[in-house]
A and B are shown apart, each in its own frame.
Chain A
């Protein structure tokens, strides 16, 4: 009788017929087949590039993702912009004509449309000063601003304010100006109500920054003397900025850390747990197996997203926390059964095969069987599951952050950036575009790689080449 202590793995003896070509192990063979799959290989390169971007990017692009650049809010992507330096100016009192009455002697039923709307001085993003020709019979004016040409009087845009006299024909706008074309409309009033006429002018303010602020932000050196009218190069935002003026490139990089961290660590954890659980169930078999799998069936039946949200709040996020850890725990708690089922099926299959019986006959202990035979043979399936689990975890994170149940602001994640970007989608599409693009590329790459791996690791295809 031999007992387990006598067991030792057989030593390879090359007594069989000599094999002329080097023998390929399973993994070498799979790798060589993966290398021939251009799409999978390309995806692998993309993923390596993404990892580099995430890990090394912040060192090369050393911009604080939380820093607000209020001179360049919702700036579209492009090269660095230059801005004119301007001195601080006090509020404009407007322009009051002396030869025109402040109030008409009698109020007409209709008046002419305002004409000659123009900028009183060179318009900048710090301030736009408008003036226009007085309208006969008007007792005041309302000023509107729109980002597209108005077609009707209902379409004049943002009401900025107005003047309360017929001879007051100046208005100053300092409200969130951007370096884009604006349509300013002036509507004469009778002091209370607006007349049904309007005049519109297009004005494109020049990007400008206050001298003091430029100095404070380090755009001009402390010792350099500058005069108003000089230009200065503003901070460069290659991907543009978001609605708070934060650099999108830096945020995409930091968001990548959050999204990819959750997207890779959670699947790693739940696949490991699933392998252990499914492996145990499959190896033990019988009643224990049935019991363990019944529990897995229960967990599968939980409505996934509802319980993600429930678990996430159950583990709580305190003030100042990002909510990454609760999401990780929730993903692991809900994600494992699929892997467990798969691995169990594999183990049940492998358990019945001849080489296991052979090893057992030779006296191999269960731990050796599991470590040397069962796990290596399920590795392919596990790897494929892992590759497909990553995109779905990234999707889940993005989805939850999008509905405001995921990573808490101000921590950026691709999903929460999409959530912010979708609000300004019509006027500033780049704020949605970049995070959405990165999610899509990552998910695409993992999916294609998963397809490639499935084919490469499929042992049925092995002997065909």
Chain B
């Protein structure tokens, strides 16, 4: 197990290196440059700015500097181009926790909802609860997240109007009330996906021999359901959880935009529009590393939940 974890971590580091390189190359292929955004500056000032940001050096040297600065333990992504007195590290430190909270809450909603609804639909197969939930699931898969975000906000407006005061804030960030609706909206698509997966996995497990054996040896239906069926059916859900966490955390842009949440996604979009090299590279590498290690974490967790994986 330990060797497996080490191997995965090593592969993860290689992946992060690849992400950083790809980001660097993509950034330097972008036409235009960040110093062109403002008013025309004299050649002299421009040269000074280039020296300050290291843009006067040849590309390979810039790459080495970029990679060198990035190395842990004191990774440094430099200074923002458009906000010259802010360090990229500070931007990430301030705004990533917001995105992460939103994303993890969404993953929580999606997993709990997906497993619950999947189990319900499989239990009531082809009966009313199944039909209703599967209809909603199909809606959840087919409707884009920004429509859900808009509808969620609309619902909040109506609820607040009905109550007469601002019960749940419709935008912004602060307490738990700010988080509920955006994270629910963010998690909906994944919840629908997981419900489908859980349903088919439950239906597959029902036909397994060990369920028949359990039934034959006289276990209570409840024990069979929780101990045998649910636990085995949950495994495929966990395998897709890693990539889904990735999709949710980066998919947060829209929800952050609609609900005016000051998360990292909004800063990334802004930085791209302004060609803020350092912020773009810092955020991408950071996000990439975060996602890579989330996937590894989920895989390791999987080993603990499913003893069969550990043996291999």
Contact = CB atoms under 8 A, between A and B. Distances in A.
Contacts of B144: 395, 398-399, 402, 415, 418, 436, 439-440, 443
A262 B210 CA distance: 47
A403 interface: yes
B31 interface: yes
B254 A403 contact: yes
Contacts of A315: 29
Interface in B142-177: 142-147, 150, 154, 157
Contact of A440 (B142, B283, B284): B142
B116 to A, nearest CB: 22
A302 B30 CA distance: 18
Interface stretch (A49-57, A128-136, A305-313, A354-362): A305-313
Contact of B15 (A298, A304, A444): A298
A321 interface: no
A301 B154 contact: no
B147 A303 contact: no
Nearest to B284: A306
B141 A402 contact: no
Interface stretch (B88-96, B99-107, B245-253): B245-253
A402 B145 CA distance: 10
Contacts of B27: 310, 314
A370 to B, nearest CB: 30
B18 A399 contact: no
Contacts of A316: 30-31
B236 to A, nearest CB: 15
A392 to B, nearest CB: 10
Contacts of B145: 399
Given A298-B18, A316-B31, A306 B250 contact: yes
Interface string A330-359: 000000000000000000000000000000
Interface string A11-51: 00000000000000000000000000000000000000000
Nearest to B22: A302
A405 interface: yes
B40 interface: no
B291 A403 contact: no
Interface string B270-307: 00110100001001100110011001000000000000
Nearest to A301: B15
Interface residues of A, number: 39
Contacts of B30: 313-314, 316
A305 B272 CA distance: 12
A464 to B, nearest CB: 14
Contacts of A419: 146
Interface in A375-424: 391, 395, 398-399, 402-405, 415, 418-419, 422
Given A304-B250, A403-B253, A443 B146 contact: no
A306 B268 contact: yes
Given A310-B26, A310-B27, A302 B150 contact: no
Contact of A303 (B138, B157, B287): B287
A444 B150 contact: no
A446 to B, nearest CB: 9
Given A298-B15, A301-B19, A307-B26, A418 B147 contact: yes
A447 B269 contact: no
A448 to B, nearest CB: 8
A402 B11 CA distance: 35
A295 to B, nearest CB: 9
Nearest to B32: A316
Contacts of A303: 19, 246, 250, 284, 287-288, 291
Contacts of A192: none
A432 interface: yes
A101 B247 CA distance: 70
B278 to A, nearest CB: 14
Contacts of B257: 403
Nearest to B272: A309
Interface string A426-465: 1000001000100111011001100000000000000000
B23 interface: yes
A447 B257 CA distance: 27
B205 interface: no
Contacts of A443: 141-142, 144
A155 interface: no
B258 interface: yes
Contacts of B254: 399, 402-403
Nearest to B142: A444
Contacts of B147: 418, 432, 436, 439-440
B26 A418 contact: no
A418 B254 CA distance: 12
A219 interface: no
A444 B138 contact: yes
Contact of A310 (B23, B150, B246): B23
Contacts of B291: 301, 303
Contacts of A439: 143-144, 147
A244 interface: no
Closest 9 A/B residue pairs (Cβ)? A444-B142, A298-B18, A314-B29, A301-B15, A443-B142, A310-B26, A316-B31, A314-B26, A305-B250
Interface of B: 11, 14-15, 18-19, 22-23, 26-27, 29-31, 138-139, 141-147, 150, 154, 157, 246-247, 250-251, 253-254, 257-258, 268-269, 272-273, 275, 280, 283-284, 287-288, 291-292, 295
15 contacts: A297-B15, A298-B18, A305-B251, A306-B250, A310-B284, A313-B272, A314-B27, A402-B144, A402-B254, A405-B272, A415-B144, A418-B147, A426-B157, A436-B147, A447-B141
Given A315-B29, A432-B147, 7 more contacts: A298-B14, A301-B18, A309-B272, A399-B251, A436-B143, A439-B143, A443-B142
